[in-house]
Amino acid sequence: MNFEFSIAKRLYGHRDDGHRLSRPAVTIAMWGVAVGLAVMILSVCIILGFKDEIRQKVIGFGGHIELLNTQSLVSPEAQPITADDSLMNKLAERDEVLHVQRFCTKTGLFKTEEAFKGVVLRGFAEEYDTTFLARHLITGRMPHFSSTQATNEIAVSSRIARTLGLEVGQKVYAYFFAEQVKARRFLIVGIYETHLREFDNSIVFTDFVTTQRINGWEKDQSAGLEIRIRDFNHLEEATSNLAAIMNHTQDHYGATYTTHSITELYPGLFSWLSLLDTNVYVILILMVLLSLFTMTAGLLIIILERTNFIAVMKSLGSSNTQVRRIFMYFAALLIGRGLLLGNLLGIGLAILQQQFGLVHLDPSTYYVDAVPIQFSWPLILLLNVATMAVTLLVLTIPSLLVSNIQPARVMRFE
């Protein structure tokens, strides 16, 4: 243990009732750092949780990447592509791809005696990953997803169910318009809720064969493929890789493939999520400024009240640099304790919210019913290191006051 740190540690642990002003200043400075860090940790965890929650819901309705017919981008109705086993296996074998599943869509109209509602049937085959739908299913069960058997079973959103007055076990008539009107009667087996109005307002889940037959497509045709990748952070790279091998190629019906990421299909929603980062930056800056203000004020008070100590140290041969280091070590100990308390407070509150959902939100406004939390331990570590580094760097300025304290002048007034 070096000389400066040893003295700083003794000063930090010293309890002198004569220094009545410095003790509250130390406490305020320490809690300023603690509260600032706690708010930063909570802000980051909440924004990360919120972005991940919304992103996962959107991905649940469309995957990370969709392989489509180029005509679907300019047509009000989905146009078919060939999506046979060989194509699915070719895509699934790629390192960046986690899962591939077919989907088939058809717009139509649900009608009851009291109301009617425009919907989009989204049919899936047996390879459909049911994790997303199971997570958001609030009553009933999932339809039987199949590429060989039409069940006419559907899962509707709670928004559609309320609009049409539907419940699990009821049947509803649907009408589809093309060259001729096609009518179907569906059995409602489940009701889901994601709070994403753009999707809950129209999406109805059913089996692949039912939607395929309504469209009048061949057995090897579908509206597209939903592709899940292993890492969302590599979405742009994965999309480019798949586009390089699939875009502008044609199936045996003459349809041209095109590849689009979920961020390209829903740019407005993901741009809005990106804007949330601005809120985090503002909060981080304000909290760092709070820590700097309280620590600077606290250190100045401590230095002014320790003028006798400084004079004695200089009289004994200590240089200005050594005395400044003593107070910088003192500040580091104080900041360290503040960071410890801040981590306990911020992470503790975040864990409570994650486990028990204590703070609720209006899902019609925020798309979630409770404040979501997601931890990023590297980011939390970075916040700790950055707070310590920035605060100590700024504190070098008030520590320069030590150089202006002259031992002879101080002792003359004692």
Domain boundaries, the chain: 3-57+270-412, 62-266
3-state SS class at 309:
helix
Residues of the chain with pLDDT under 50: 17-19, 413
pLDDT value of position 22? 63
What's the Cα-to-Cα distance from 290 to each of 31, 40, 243, 284, 327, rounded to whole Å? 10, 11, 48, 10, 20
pLDDT value of position 323? 82
At 5, list the tokens. Answer: 């740190």
Write out pLDDT tens, residues 51-63. 999 999 999 999 9
At 19, list the tokens. Answer: 């220094």
Under 8 Å between Cβ of 202 and 118: yes
3-state SS class at 93:
coil
pLDDT value of position 5? 84
Amino acid at 259: T
Residue 218 burial (C-beta neighbours within 10 Å; 0-12, 13-18, 19+): exposed
Write out pLDDT tens, residues 59-80. 999 999 999 999 999 988 999 9
The pTM (predicted TM-score) of the whole model is: 0.86
Residue 180 burial (C-beta neighbours within 10 Å; 0-12, 13-18, 19+): exposed
- What DSSP designation does 400 have? G
Report the C-alpha gap between 124 and 284 in whole angstroms. Answer: 44
Terminal Cα distance for the chain, rounded: 33
* Other C-beta atoms lying within 10 Å of the C-beta of residue 124: 25
pLDDT value of position 311? 77
Phi-psi region of 155 (alpha: psi -120 to 50; beta: other; left: phi over 0): beta
Beta strands in 193-343, from DSSP E residues, in sequence order = 203-207, 221-222, 224-229, 257-261
pLDDT value of position 3? 77
Under 8 Å between Cβ of 257 and 246: yes
Under 8 Å between Cβ of 119 and 109: yes
DSSP conformation letters of 110-149 = EE-SS-EEEEEEEEE-TT--THHHHHHEEEE------SS-
**Cα atoms found within 13 Å of the Cα of residue 360, Cβ hemisphere only:** 4
pLDDT value of position 295? 87
Dihedral over Cα of 210, 214, 218, 221: its sign: negative
Find residue 108's DSSP bridge partners. 119
Residue 275 burial (C-beta neighbours within 10 Å; 0-12, 13-18, 19+): exposed
Write out pLDDT tens, residues 16-52. 544 455 678 788 888 989 999 999 999 999 999 999 9
Under 8 Å between Cβ of 292 and 392: no
pLDDT value of position 15? 60
**Cα atoms found within 13 Å of the Cα of residue 198, Cβ hemisphere only:** 10
